């Protein structure tokens, strides 16, 4: 069987990981031969031309270091200040600096040069996410003939947003150098196809690219999932039970509304707290009866837009506290730290409402995990944004437009008032869907499509 080489911006680190990618892929690699390639997390003065092998929690990883300058341009700059906001349709939060693109390509070239000598001819390469769109182009230029697949964990933008990205034509050509491009949802494949079929003239003056040939690249939706049975087991583990007991003591009979996210402007956190504020303002009967817990560890905090979101969230949480808190009742708790999966599973199980309301999200694994952790005898209710990829899978959640805080407030009221038979009916269907879209089948489906047994390792692709 061919080896699998996973490539992502960062290799996984030790201990609990707050990123969806690491959580999802660690298990895939544990089952196949191969290694995980990516940035070590170290910043150095001179870029390392060769990768260093290491073993992290039994996983074989090959790592390169980045220079500070490249990190700024490639990671904080082009990837997270241009691609991330644009792909999430937040052009208002994008910052464009022309020189970042050179850094983005330089790091992709560095990755390709360091990876190439480690490859065997029949290795299957699976590249992850927007940081590494040019990697197949770079590897093919160096002569690699392996099957190479790309998976985009975030949404694919509409054509308008794509046109706003500097060098978008080259990026699309880069995508066409993959054998398989996987997306989270049908919505993303539709957006991609629209661009590929219509390809309006380049907005880049003087671009040599007039069109991109996607003839040999297959593009399809492979919705990612979690391991819902594992979350069910975790929710009954000693660490989860400890967390549940602690929380039950402090809740003292109040119903828990729970949000768990990386602190990111795509997650719609200020809107979410505002919806909760409206619930309390419009329904006095819920005061003292409910409590909202938002867990949101900071991420990418060197980027100014993330700091702004954090400040905005601090302000709105303070406002809700000031407006509704009483000496013996706090309407909400906002925790800025990461928890291990067992503790998270305990929180999920205890929560009467899982509030997952991103403004736009590739999938959203928290929705999957929340469903997995519920008690079948007394399940909670999932409120889910229509703009998460998960909405294509979880039709039995209460689906909301997260920009409409009145609608989300009403969904909260409905969820809190929902009777047990209705909660059970909805949860059973949600759990069935979560099991159908589990992470193991996701990676198997992608790899089977990338390298069907009959073609694996034949290196048939032109370069």
Taking the complex as a whole, how short is the minimal distance between the CB of residue 109 and ligand ADQ, in angstroms?
A: 25
Give 211's Cβ-side CA count (13 Å radius).
7
Instruction: Name the residue nearer to ligand ADQ (CB basis): 15 or 238.
Output: 15
Taking the complex as a whole, how short is the minimal distance between the CB of residue 189 and ligand ADQ, in angstroms?
A: 15
Selection from 249, 261, 87 nearest residue 161 by Cα: 87
Instruction: Name the residue nearer to ligand ADQ (CB basis): 355 or 365.
Output: 365
Enzyme catalytic residues: 153, 361
Instruction: Name the residue nearer to ligand ADQ (CB basis): 153 or 437.
Output: 153
Buried b (16+ CB within 10 A) or exposed e, 7-34: bbbbbbeeeebbbbbbbbbbebbeeeeb
Given a contact cutoff of 8 angstroms between Cβ atoms, the answer to whether 36 and 111 are in contact is no
Given a contact cutoff of 8 angstroms between Cβ atoms, the answer to whether 173 and 141 are in contact is no
CA–CA separation, 81 vs 73, rounded Å?
10
Site of interaction with ligand ADQ (CB under 6 A): 16, 18-21, 23-24, 153-154, 224, 260-262, 295, 297, 338-339, 344, 361-366, 369
SS3 content of the chain, % helix, strand, coil (to 5): 45, 20, 35
Q: What is the DSSP string of 187-206?
A: HHHHHHHHHHHH-PPPSSTT
Instruction: Name the residue nearer to ligand ADQ (CB basis): 333 or 424.
Output: 333
Taking the complex as a whole, how short is the minimal distance between the CB of residue 362 and ligand ADQ, in angstroms?
A: 3
Q: How many residues does the chain have?
A: 463
Instruction: Name the residue nearer to ligand ADQ (CB basis): 185 or 416.
Output: 185
Taking the complex as a whole, how short is the minimal distance between the CB of residue 154 and ligand ADQ, in angstroms?
A: 5
Give strand pairing partners of 453: none
The dihedral over CA atoms of 130, 136, 6, 127, expressed in degrees to the nearest 10, equals 30
Three-class SS of residue 11? coil
Taking the complex as a whole, how short is the minimal distance between the CB of residue 253 and ligand ADQ, in angstroms?
A: 25
From residue 262, give the alpha-carbon distance in Å to each of 46, 312, 339: 31, 15, 11
CA–CA separation, 24 vs 289, rounded Å?
36
Taking the complex as a whole, how short is the minimal distance between the CB of residue 282 and ligand ADQ, in angstroms?
A: 29
Three-class SS of residue 278? helix
Taking the complex as a whole, how short is the minimal distance between the CB of residue 261 and ligand ADQ, in angstroms?
A: 6
CA–CA separation, 90 vs 80, rounded Å?
12
Instruction: Name the residue nearer to ligand ADQ (CB basis): 225 or 457.
Output: 225
Give strand pairing partners of 7: 37, 127
Given a contact cutoff of 8 angstroms between Cβ atoms, the answer to whether 272 and 313 are in contact is no
Instruction: Name the residue nearer to ligand ADQ (CB basis): 168 or 262.
Output: 262
């Amino acid at each position: 069987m061919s080896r699998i080489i996973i490539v992502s911006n960062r290799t996984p680190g030790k201990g609990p990981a707050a990123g969806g990618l690491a959580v999802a892929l660690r298990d895939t690699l544990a089952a196949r031969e191969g290694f995980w390639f990516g940035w070590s997390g170290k910043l150095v003065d001179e870029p390392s031309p060769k990768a260093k092998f290491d073993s992290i929690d039994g996983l074989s990883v090959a790592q390169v270091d980045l220079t500070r300058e490249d990190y700024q341009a490639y990671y904080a700059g082009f990837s997270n200040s241009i691609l991330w906001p644009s792909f999430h349709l937040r052009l208002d939060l994008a910052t464009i600096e022309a020189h970042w693109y050179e850094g983005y390509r330089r790091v992709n070239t560095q990755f390709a040069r360091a990876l190439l000598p480690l490859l065997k001819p029949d290795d299957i390469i699976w590249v992850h996410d927007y940081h590494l769109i040019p990697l197949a182009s770079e590897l093919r230029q160096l002569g690699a003939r392996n099957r190479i697949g790309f998976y985009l964990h975030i949404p694919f933008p509409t054509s308008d947003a794509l046109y706003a990205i500097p060098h978008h034509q080259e990026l699309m050509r880069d995508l066409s150098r993959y054998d398989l491009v996987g997306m989270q949802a049908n919505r993303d494949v539709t957006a991609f196809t629209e661009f590929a079929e219509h390809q309006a003239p380049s907005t880049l003056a003087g671009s040599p690219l007039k069109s991109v040939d996607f003839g040999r690249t297959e593009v399809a939706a492979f919705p990612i999932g979690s391991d819902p049975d594992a979350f069910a087991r975790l929710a009954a583990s000693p660490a989860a039970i400890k967390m549940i007991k602690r929380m039950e003591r402090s809740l003292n009979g109040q119903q828990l509304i729970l949000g768990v996210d990386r602190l990111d402007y795509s997650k719609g956190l200020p809107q979410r707290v505002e919806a909760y504020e409206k619930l309390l303002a419009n329904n006095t009967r819920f005061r003292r009866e409910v409590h909202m817990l938002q867990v949101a560890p900071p991420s990418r905090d060197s980027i100014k837009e993330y700091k702004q979101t954090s400040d905005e969230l601090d302000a709105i949480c303070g406002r809700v506290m000031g407006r509704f808190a009483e000496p013996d009742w706090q309407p909400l708790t906002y925790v800025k730290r990461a928890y291990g999966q067992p503790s998270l599973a305990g929180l999920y199980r205890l929560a009467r409402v899982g509030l997952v309301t991103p403004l736009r999200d590739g999938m959203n694994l928290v929705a999957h995990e929340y469903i997995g952790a519920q008690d079948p005898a007394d399940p909670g209710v999932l409120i889910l944004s229509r703009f998460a990829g998960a909405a294509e899978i979880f039709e039995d959640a209460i689906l909301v437009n997260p920009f409409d805080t009145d609608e989300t407030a009403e969904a909260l009221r409905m969820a809190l008032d929902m009777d047990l038979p209705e909660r059970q009916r909805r949860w059973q269907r949600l759990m069935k869907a979560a099991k159908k879209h589990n992470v193991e089948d996701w990676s198997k489906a992608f790899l089977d499509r990338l390298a069907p047994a009959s073609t694996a390792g034949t290196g048939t692709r032109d370069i």
